[in-house]
Amino acid sequence: MRALGPGFYVLRLGFHVAFLRVREGGAVQLVHSSYVGLGAVVRKAADISEALVSNYRVVGKVSVDDVLVRRWLPGEVLAVHGATVKG
């Protein structure tokens, strides 16, 4: 996953969807709704996440802009190509 380069990605696994955040230094975090234990949204280092165990993976880059991601996630109103769009 580090080879993808820094950015924010959406990840499709066999029966699960998650987000990956790859940082400049190579640290990779996985954010997903856990289907084991408490069944809550969790963020942990991708290399120790049980959720990544899958024979099927599709990855798509969402953005490399940390400011955009920090504004988008809580649902802040964003301007897109001169238009105002509410997320």
Q: Is the pTM of this model over 0.85?
A: no
Q: Give me the number of domains the chain comprises.
A: 1
Q: CA triplet 32, 69, 34: central angle to 5 degrees?
A: 5
For residues 50 and 2, give the distance between their C-alpha atoms in angstroms, rounded to a whole number.
18
Q: Give the pLDDT confidence of 55-84 residue by residue, as tens digits.
A: 777 888 887 787 887 887 778 887 776 665
End-to-end CA distance of the chain: 27
Give the domain range for residue 36: 2-85
